[in-house]
Amino acid sequence: MIKSFEPWLYLAPMLLFILLLVLVPLVTGISYAFYNFDLISGTRDFVGFDQFLRILSEDEIFLTSLVNTLFWTSASLFFQFTLGLALALLLHNGFRGIKFIQPVLFVPWAVPSFLIGLMWVWMFNPVTGPLPYLFEWLGFMDIPENILSDPDHAMWGPITANVWFGIPFFTIMLLAALRSIPKEIFEAASMDGISGLKAFRHITVPLIAPTIIITLMMRAIWIANFAEIIIVMTNGGPANSTQIVATYIYDTAYQKMDFGYASVLSIALLFMLMIYGFTLGHIRRKMKVYI
């Protein structure tokens, strides 16, 4: 009996540390949802579930921001992943000058997100940037205009910046996974006459699939919570067309100073991301592990 407790005793200091560092702030944050705060006077009134009813019945912006979050996350994730995978395959196969190019390709990952936002705002601006003229030349526009002011296309601005920023993450992760596949497997397959696309589909993909699932899960959660680029580039506008839940939380907390309702919005986002995480985790557990 005592023996079964013994490991827990050794773990206790670290568990206590984790409890204090992770759970206490989380529970405190969740408790804010039940209060109406006035930060300036320092008063707070208990309002029960009133603010949860508000999100369900009155808040049109929340619904808009939810739909925008899905679009922002899925589009960013799709392009980051496909382009990141393509780049990883290219680097894995090797080419002349790879030693010089490889570090350069990872530079976007090291650039601060606010700077990325500013940089792309300038790129999309017809006065300071080349992109509107490129779009005009390609026939996408009649005259060079700023897509960040067009509610139908504004979201593509931050998505472009986010894709540029996020490709290196997938490249690094997938390149490591590709390099961990034993060469013998490909040699054996080659002797059986399998190579090229077939080898990629039947050997490479299944072997890097666990990495793909984990990276997709982590990155989707990061992207859904990633408000900085949008705040810098469009601030959620025009007319809420780029408002995602994370930017809406920021606005509610730091512009309206309504920490109670911001906490309700955060709980809603946390809840949805947890469902997504559990689903992907379940798929990951069901997958066969080859190596």
Site residues (vs another protein, CB under 8 A): 38-43, 125-127, 145-146, 148-151, 234-240, 251, 254-257
C-alpha closest to that of 173 among 276, 87, 274:
87
Rounded distance, CA 261 to CA 254, Å? 11
Of 37 and 81, the one with the shorter C-beta distance to another protein is: 37
- CB-based burial of residue 16 (10 Å sphere; 0-12 exposed, 13-18 middle, 19+ buried)? exposed
- Rounded alpha-carbon distances, angstroms, from residue 31 to 44, 268, 272: 12, 14, 18
Residue 108: CB minimum distance to another protein, A? 24
Of 50 and 145, the one with the shorter C-beta distance to another protein is: 145
Residue 236: CB minimum distance to another protein, A? 8
Rounded distance, CA 126 to CA 132, Å? 6
Of 64 and 215, the one with the shorter C-beta distance to another protein is: 64
The CB density around residue 106, as the number of other CB atoms within 10 Å, is 14
Of 88 and 155, the one with the shorter C-beta distance to another protein is: 155
Q: Report helix, strand or coil for 142.
A: coil
Of 44 and 92, the one with the shorter C-beta distance to another protein is: 44
Residue 241: CB minimum distance to another protein, A? 9
Residue 40: CB minimum distance to another protein, A? 4
135, containing H or E segment: helix 131-138
Residue 61: CB minimum distance to another protein, A? 8
